Amino acid sequence: MATEPRIFSTKRSRFEIRDNLWKWIFLLPAVAIILILLAIPVLWTLYAAFTDLHLYRIGDFETQFVGLANFEKLLSNRSFWRTVRNTVVFMLGVVPAQLIIGLTVALALNNITRGQKLFRTWFLMPLMVSPVVVSFIVGRMLFQEDIGPINDILRNMGFEGVPWLTSPTWAMVALMAIDVWQWSSFMILMLLAALKGVPPDLHEAARVDGANQLQGFWRITVPLIMPITMTALLIRIIDAFKVVEIIMVLTGGGPGQATESVTLAIYRTGVKGGDLAFGSSQAYFLLLVLMIFGGAYLVMTRRAMGKD
């Protein structure tokens, strides 16, 4: 029986081993930094979630292992679930709006021939401003109920002033408006990049075949920009789940608890309040939700795009 000639040797040469050694030596600092900055805090937080660790407890108390007690408390804590509901409402309000605005503006920018760079820069400006500054200037000043310019304009037009920050519904609307104003730019940037990647030849060919503009958009543009769109959506959904700065500055989570997000609740419990144990369990809940959602989203996206 003839044997096939060995094209590649499976035995690793001394050179290869030495080469791999160098690779590992150079990788080591990066691995160590990742371990220190990521793995240790993540594992430590996991440990804290199963204890009664509290930063500000006075007296001789030993930190105790409490099993699932923090997670049980989490499940029965109405305040926490209110923050989950608020966060989901916020996310559902801002992400679709940003997608629609982002796509509309990106399509317009992609089709104009003059001043495209100017408008592109203009639309990206909100992205360059700190969320805290946006919340203070756009939020606290514009939406000030008593002497703010929006209510002033409304009153001068004969309407009632809107209780932007004292009505649970309007406070959420004000927060959404700020977030949409700032982060639509991100969608514009991503979708414009995606549109630039669509080859014009395809549209020309479709036109020759008798397709109108709408058909060209649905059949050619949308499928081609879909991968970047889905990625941008995922980034924005995760960001919306983690929203905290604008809420802290604008409403502080109020009125009542109407605008308190999960991340703000974690910050208040763990960082400010010092209850690291319960704060850690809340943080792990958020991490778990985001991981499950992110994983499911990616699987569904790949299936929808026929890559599975």
Partner 1 sequence: MESKVSRRQFLRLAGGAAGAVALAACAAPVAPSGSGEEAMSQEKIVIRYAGLDGMGARVEAFMLPWVEDNGYELERGAFGQQELTDKIMQSVATDTYLADIFQFPSNARADVIGAGALQEIPTEVLEAIDFDDVLPGIVNTLSWEGKIYALPYDGDIHYYSFRKDLFANEDINSRFKDAYGYDLSPDTGAVTWDQWRNICEFFTGWDWNENGDDDDFGAACMTKRGDTLWWGFNSRATAYAKHPDDDSYFIDLDTGEARLNNPGFVRALTEWVEEMQNWAPPGGTNFTYGDSLNAMNGGRVAQTYNWDAVTSATSPETSVIQGLQGYNILPGSHEVFNSKSGEWDYFDIPSHAPFHAFGGWVIAVSAQVDELAYDAVWGFVTHLTKPESGLAFVTDLTGASPYRFSQMDAVEEFATGPLQLGEEVAMDYLNAARETLDHPNAVTDQAFGGWVQYRDALELGVSKALANELPPQDALDEVAAAFNEISERMGGLQHQAELYARTLGK
Select 274 or 294, whichever has its Cβ closest to partner 1. Answer: 274
Backbone angles phi, psi at 218, to 5 degrees: -70, -40
Contact between 52 and partner 1 per CB under 8 A: yes
Residues 266-285 that bind partner 1 (CB under 8 A): 268-269, 271-275, 278
Please choose, out of 91-99, 205-213, 244-252, 295-303, the segment that lies near partner 1 by the rule CB under 8 A.
Answer: 244-252
Select 179 or 275, whichever has its Cβ closest to partner 1. Answer: 275
Q: Write down the least CB distance from residue 163 to partner 1, Å.
A: 7
Please choose, out of 187-195, 202-210, 216-224, 251-259, the segment that lies near partner 1 by the rule CB under 8 A.
Answer: 251-259
Beta bridge partners of 51: 65
Three-state DSSP class for 114?
coil
Q: Which of 110, 116, 144, 231 binds partner 1 (CB under 8 A)?
A: 144
Binding mask 73-112 for partner 1 (x = CB under 8 A): ------x---------------------------------
Q: Write down the least CB distance from residue 276 to partner 1, Å.
A: 9
Please choose, out of 85-93, 144-152, 195-203, 285-293, the segment that lies near partner 1 by the rule CB under 8 A.
Answer: 144-152
Which residues, at least 6 apart from 185, have a Cβ–Cβ distance to it below 8 Å?
102, 123, 124, 125, 126, 127
CA distance 51 to 64: 5
Q: How many CB atoms lie within 10 A of CB 99?
A: 17
| Inter-axis angle of helices 276-304 and 222-241, nearest 10 | 170
Q: Judge whether 192 and 110 are in contact, CB under 8 Å.
A: yes
Please choose, out of 101-109, 117-125, 158-166, 194-202, the segment that lies near partner 1 by the rule CB under 8 A.
Answer: 158-166
Q: Judge whether 281 and 258 are in contact, CB under 8 Å.
A: no
Contact between 45 and partner 1 per CB under 8 A: no
Q: Is 295 exposed, middle or buried (0-12, 13-18, 19+ CB in 10 A)?
A: exposed
Contact between 179 and partner 1 per CB under 8 A: no
CA distance 230 to 36: 32
Q: Judge whether 162 and 144 are in contact, CB under 8 Å.
A: no
CA distance 304 to 127: 30
Residue that the structure tokens 């997608």 belong to: 99
Q: Which of 2, 56, 62, 308 binds partner 1 (CB under 8 A)?
A: 56
Count of residues in contact with partner 1, rule CB under 8 A: 40
Select 160 or 308, whichever has its Cβ closest to partner 1. Answer: 160
- Which parts of this chain interact with partner 1 (CB under 8 A)? 22, 25-26, 52, 54-59, 61, 79, 144-146, 151, 161, 163-168, 248, 251-258, 268-269, 271-275, 278
